[in-house]
Amino acid sequence: MILTPITPDRSRRVACAADMPSTVASIPRGRMAQILAEVGERARAARFEIAPNPAVGAALVAADGSILAEGRHLVYGGPHAEIEALRAYRATGRPMADVHTLAITLEPCSTTGKTPACTDAIIKSGIKRVAIADLDPDPRHRGRALAILGEHGIEVETHPGAAPLSVVSPHFESYTSYERLRRPRPWLIAKWAQTRSGHLSPPEDVGEGRWISSPESLREVQLLRSHVDAIVTGVGTVVADDPRLTVRFPAGLDRPPLRVVLDTELRTPPDARIFRPAERGEAGGPVYILCRAGANGVRHRELLAAGARVHPLRPGADGRVHLRESLEWMWRFGVRRALLETGPTLLSSYFEAGFVDQVRIYTGNVNGGRGDSLATLLAGTKLLERSDREVGPDAVLEAFVGRSSR
């Protein structure tokens, strides 16, 4: 059984072979809807690891309605759900002829980005039927995959409401909103560590007066760094902490994230550790320093000699590097997912401008503390789909930030 017309803009019919009656008995729609709901719920578990990509689940289903193999999108930049499901099934050694339908919670991608188009893999697999719960919300792609599959003789049916995007992956609706498509910018993850009292620095007699997080949390942060396109910080953090912003786990990363420093007046020291060559097993992306036009010419030349790439940008009303301009600059350089590892002042500016999309907060097993706290900022932030978990002795809060159109 093939569903009634699917339209990219809800007004134009998608002409495809899926509109032709099927000669193969269909899996009951109730059972297929149940499968889509189940794999959609399981796919949600990885939502913080894959955002801004959508959480998607897929299953290869036999004619009797049993699930033969399942897959989901697990990590940003990694294989999509359909590919993972196909890999899992091939590992069983069973023939593709045993597969009746590929069930997917969201219309498969039809363009090549960090991974090849999933429509190509589906066509090459020999699968003859595809069931989809929801269409791509991006008007540039909506319905395109269905048309492509239909042109290759693959029957397509949809199950509206079985695993709606608004339930499985609402953050993707925000990422594909009209305003963000009109003025694209990277997905920003704000990450910080704090003590139990909310301070950003521990007591002087703990962690050399600097470290709050446990080794387990620090290792997890390294993994997070490896799954972003850029790490963003401010000159205040560079001067105060002298960070390297490299990736040490997993070792030998082929394409480490860009290291972006917002430095309005070019105060970054040319001998900062961020310019040192990567050590064995460590990976560091190129260093970009964003400043205002006309900033310190002497320091500009010194930073170029140190290996930095300096880019002047239009200042904002406060005279500092314009945050929107910096984000649009990063987008032009291919940054789609960025990690904010900044001090409280710059981080607050990102929040106040409505640019933070996601948070990951590590609360260490440390009492007391010194210096700044982001408790007031956090109390005024709308957190969505909050998740609380433990890593070693630390507590980790993850959530999406309430949508802003700025």
Q: Which are the catalytic amino acids?
A: 82
402 in the Ramachandran plot: left (φ > 0), alpha (ψ -120 to 50) or beta?
beta
**Tokens encoding 176:** 């594909």
The one-letter amino acid code at 190 reads: A
The residues pairing with 157 across neighbouring beta strands, listed in sequence order, are 131
Query: Residue 118 annotated as binding?
Result: yes
Query: Residue 241 annotated as binding?
Result: yes
Query: Residue 210 annotated as binding?
Result: no
Cα–Cα–Cα angle for 243, 224, 168, rounded to 5 degrees? 150
Q: Is the peptide bond before 203 cis (omega within 30 degrees of 0)?
A: no
Query: Residue 223 annotated as binding?
Result: no
The one-letter amino acid code at 11 reads: S
The residues pairing with 134 across neighbouring beta strands, listed in sequence order, are 106
Query: Residue 51 annotated as binding?
Result: no
Task: Please name the residue that has the structure tokens 């964003």.
Answer: 290
The one-letter amino acid code at 76 reads: Y
Query: Residue 101 annotated as binding?
Result: no
Query: Residue 225 annotated as binding?
Result: yes
User: Contact 37/51 with Cβ under 8 angstroms?
Assistant: no
Determine phi and psi for 58, rounding to 5 degrees: -145, 150
Task: Please name the residue that has the structure tokens 């997905």.
Answer: 187
**Tokens encoding 14:** 């998608």
Query: Residue 245 annotated as binding?
Result: yes
Query: Residue 16 annotated as binding?
Result: no
The binding site for NADP(+) comprises 193, 211, 237, 241, 264
The binding site for Zn(2+) comprises 80, 109, 118
The binding site for substrate comprises 225, 245, 248
The binding site comprises 80, 109, 118, 193, 211, 225, 237, 241, 245, 248, 264
